[in-house]
Amino acid sequence: MRIYNTLTRRKEEFIPLEKGKVKMYACGITVSGEAHIGHGYQALIYDIMRKYLEKKGYSVTYARNYTDIDDKIIAKSKETGIPADKYAADMIKKIDKVMAEMDVDDPSLWLKATKNIGNIIKFIQRLIDSGHAYAAKCGDVYFSVSSFKRYGCLSNRSVEDMLDGVRVENNDEKREPADFALWKAAKEGEISWDSPWGKGRPGWHIECSAMNMAAFGEQIDIHGGGRDLIFPHHENEIAQTESLTGKQFAKYWTHNGLIKVNGQKMSKSLGNSLLLEDLLEKYTNEAIKFALLQNNYRNDINITVELFPEAERHLTDFYNVIKAVEDKFGKGSKPSAEIDEKFNADMDEDFNTALALSELFGLFKAVSAKLAKGDVSAADDVAQIRKTYSLLGLFKKDAAEYLAEVSAKNPADIPEDIKELAEKRWQAKLARDWASADKLRAELDEKGYVIKDAKDNYTVIKK
């Protein structure tokens, strides 16, 4: 198995620090707003990495954080009048809910900055004691970038290059322009904690170093996040942690690509942010995953108007084949090693979901051919596809239920006369007029449509 390592800028054989065990950390969401598609994509990628490593037989401890205190959250608190801690807690609840709807599993460990203030303060004090950080008179604490000779090793740039074109805060108490804040003195009305340097709060970069140290110790196997975090966030994490320990912090640094919308970087300032909640109202979570995972995780994704609808059409075609096979032959029981082995070979090459998904078109073509011939082994192939690709979050649903969900999200696809018949049949059922309800159901069936009843409503899908 090979993983692309941002630190060395090449693919490397994956060999964990401790045989059979993997310590993995991914930077999570700063909860200053609701989850957008970029957050969903990053969470999905590292969830898949964790699951595939477990499939390979590793015992994986996967930690993920919420940044629940920073400048943006404080700004939102002032804007809304909601205390910063309550604002962050409320936003985390919303994000957790939408991630559950996206069917992204929780990590082994959830870490939050505000729950690690003591660990952060201890970490900063050790950096000061070792000469890698210094306290300013105003109550701020800064990391001395010049004290860490390998600074720039991850982004492969010099300090001068990093500062070129980057806004640097003017502060007479900083020794060098590149020095960055570990602790920020509290301003009037801001949330704060007591520290040896006065009331204040953590800087952004220190939280991940301190939380990693508390959760895993001095070293981890895999550290991940979006490519926009390489500099300065991950560069600063390396400097902080390795200055303290003298050891390599993370053996493998992995970074997913960024989201673009019609060729432009997704951002609030451009007004093109795509909230995950809004997308889930229009498309199934499996369609969203299929669309995103057709891309190599290290590349940027360009979201166009056709990306998600096209993914939904492909999955609908696949589920129609699954339904036809399972209706005719039932559930398969004999595993197809070849399907799983090819998937593993693709994923072994730096988690290549794009290649793994490209295999599906040939697989379903072959299954359709078997179905046409009456070959019962089509059921075994479908069972294996379901089992193998469930790791990517696909083909986990009952076929009829999936098709009903797609139909419910796209009611315009159902002709008006069919909608009227379906509604009449529903009303007949509510009135316990079973004869009329059965007659209308049969009429719908003749026209090529099926009714799927739920507790309080129904959906109508094309057969």
3-state secondary structure of 177: coil
pLDDT at residue number 335: 86
pTM > 0.85? yes
Residue with tokens 């300013």: 136
User: Side chain identity at 260, as an amino acid letter?
Assistant: K
Q: Terminus-to-terminus CA distance in the chain, angstroms?
A: 42
Q: Is 262 left (phi over 0), alpha (psi -120 to 50) or beta?
A: left
Where would I find the H helices in 248-306? 276-282, 285-293
Task: Read off the pLDDT of residues 157-195 as tens digits, 9 standing for 90 and up.
Answer: 888 777 765 555 556 689 999 999 999 999 999 999 999
Task: Read off the pLDDT of residues 48-83 as tens digits, 9 standing for 90 and up.
Answer: 999 999 999 999 999 999 999 999 999 999 999 999
**Residue 388 reports pLDDT greater than 80:** yes
- Report the C-alpha dihedral over residues 279, 282, 288, 290, rounded to 10 degrees: -160
Across 284-316, b (16+ Cβ under 10 Å) vs e yields bbbbbbbbbbbbbbbeebebeeebbeebbebbb
Q: If DSSP states are collapsed to H, E and C, what string results for 367-389?
A: HHHHHHHCCCHHHHHHHHHHHHH
Task: Read off the pLDDT of residues 315-369 as tens digits, 9 standing for 90 and up.
Answer: 999 999 999 999 999 999 888 899 999 999 999 999 999 999 999 999 999 999 9
